[in-house]
Structure 1
Amino acid sequence: MKRTKAAAQETRNRILDAAEQIFVARGVAAATLSEIADTASVTRGAIYGHFANKSELFAAIIERAGLPVESLAKQVAKVPETDVLAHLHKVFAQSLHDVSRSPRTWRIFAIVFRKYAMADESCPVLMRCRRAADELQTSLRIALRHAVRGGQLPRDLDVEFASSLFVVLWNGVFLARLSSSPMADVQHDEAGRIAQGWLDVLRHSPACRGKEQVR
């Protein structure tokens, strides 16, 4: 029984590994289960023994690897009410550095941001990505409001805009590196400069100012 379970898990992992490879090369929509089966050296029937369809297979890939934005949202949510900006700087810089050094994470970014094209709005992966992005935005807004109340940021900061700017910058760093394989590493000093640049924009740019003050 143990041998059977181990063999089934090994086959499942081979299928997931092959699907990652094919999805990166061709995109989710263009990839076929036959290609994945050939790459994994299994039959199509073996794939159906583990996954009902291609959407479920992709969801399993994401479940195994996780979404970097989910981890980032959890770290941002741990922000203390004092010295908020130091916490955000550390979390943002560390995330940029760590994500860029993970080959599997590079593949997930490549699939989701450049290759992923499925029309079904109810696709589990699409819903999970949106939910994670919403959680990050919520955590950021709470953190930024703490920073405003603590006098670290202008009282008229447009918190909604500032949190959106963070997400755009975070995603943009990786999108700019997806043309290289594996993803070009974001060194610690570079990640720190990027994080500091975002915080400096929040402090000094008129574009980040709103009409209402945070209370």
Structure 2
Amino acid sequence: MARKTKADKEKTYQALIEAAAELFRSQGFTATTLNEIAERAGVTRGAFYGHFSSKSEVIQAIWEEQALPFFEPIKDTLLNLPQDKPAEAFRQQINSLLELFEDNNIVGRAFFIIMHNMEISDKDKELVEFLSDKYKLYEQVLCCAYKKLGEAGNLKQGVNPDHAAMGFLYILIGMINMALLPFGDFDYERDGYPVFEHYLNSVLMD
């Protein structure tokens, strides 16, 4: 029997991540079994354990492989809004984020899996902590951005930066869910951009 090459192992690794992401998205984390992931990836259960020890590890791999590389640049920009016209820069980053989800369903799916409640048991403390950390991280990034906008006089009177950040995430997660529904009719150009424009106009003063 031929020994598997590094390329073969990487192909199996990526196939497992893709299979798991599709199953987690379509039927939930708890309902998905290791056998289903392996079968969908076209490999054996033993091959699964050659790369992961649990479904929880797959979740972390989905984030690191399919989402993190795309979100890091946007996160860094939001944390470092320019002093000159910060609201304009903020809007540009939001448009970049929506364009990312519009052009790449894999990224949107990964973000949804991480941010959405997947009926994960409290017994899986490591995964709960991982998901909680990711949610809190992006909530904190948005809070920081909104606070800077407030300091620059770009938030409307009475807008709470923390609440604005929470509202942002709720709208975004809802949009991604609608876009991923197999029977949905959501369109980013027709629906997503106008909804976010309406939301931003309700909290920002340019």
- Distance in 1 between residues matched to 2:143 and 2:88, nearest whole Å: 16
- Distance in 1 between residues matched to 2:142 and 2:116, nearest whole Å: 25
Give secondary structure in 2 for the equivalent of 1:177: helix
Deviation at 1:66, TM superposition (A): 1.9
Q: 1:55 to 1:83 in 2, by over 3 A?
A: same
- CA deviation vs aligned residue, 1:14-59 (integer Å, no higher than 9, x gap): 2222222332332221111122222222221111111112211232
TM-score, reference length from structure 2: 0.78
The root-mean-square deviation of aligned C-alpha atoms, in Å, is: 3.1
Mean alpha-carbon deviation: is it higher for 114-123 or for 162-171?
114-123
Amino acid at match of 1:13: Q
Mean alpha-carbon deviation: is it higher for 47-56 or for 105-114?
105-114
2:34 maps to which residue? 33
Deviation at 1:191, TM superposition (A): 4.8
State the 4+ residue runs in structure 1 displaced beyond 6 angstroms: none
- Distance in 2 between residues matched to 1:76 and 1:27, nearest whole Å: 31
Amino acid at match of 1:175: N
TM-score, reference length from structure 1: 0.76
2:60 maps to which residue? 59
1:79 maps to which residue? 81
Contact 2:20/2:37, CA 8 A, preserved across alignment: yes
Contact 1:83/1:147, CA 8 A, preserved across alignment: no
- Distance in 2 between residues matched to 1:114 and 1:138, nearest whole Å: 17
Mean alpha-carbon deviation: is it higher for 192-201 or for 82-91?
192-201
Contact 1:24/1:115, CA 8 A, preserved across alignment: no
Partner residue of 1:142 out of 141, 144, 157 = 144
Show structure 1 runs of 5+ residues with no match.
Answer: 205-215
- Distance in 1 between residues matched to 2:54 and 2:181, nearest whole Å: 29
- CA deviation vs aligned residue, 1:175-205 (integer Å, no higher than 9, x gap): 3333237984412x7554333322321258x
Contact 1:103/1:183, CA 8 A, preserved across alignment: no
Amino acid at match of 2:151: R
Give secondary structure in 1 for the equivalent of 2:109: helix
Mean alpha-carbon deviation: is it higher for 61-70 or for 193-202?
61-70
2:172 maps to which residue? 170
- Distance in 1 between residues matched to 2:71 and 2:61, nearest whole Å: 17
Contact 2:175/2:192, CA 8 A, preserved across alignment: no
Show structure 2 runs of 5+ residues with no match.
Answer: none
Mean alpha-carbon deviation: is it higher for 47-56 or for 110-119?
110-119
Higher relative contact order (CA 8 A, sep 6+): 1
Mean alpha-carbon deviation: is it higher for 115-124 or for 86-95?
115-124
Q: 1:114 to 1:160 in 2, by over 3 A?
A: closer
- CA deviation vs aligned residue, 1:78-129 (integer Å, no higher than 9, x gap): 21123121111111122122213212124325544668222035243x4333
Give secondary structure in 1 for the equivalent of 2:35: helix
- Distance in 1 between residues matched to 2:126 and 2:184, nearest whole Å: 27
Deviation at 1:148, TM superposition (A): 2.6
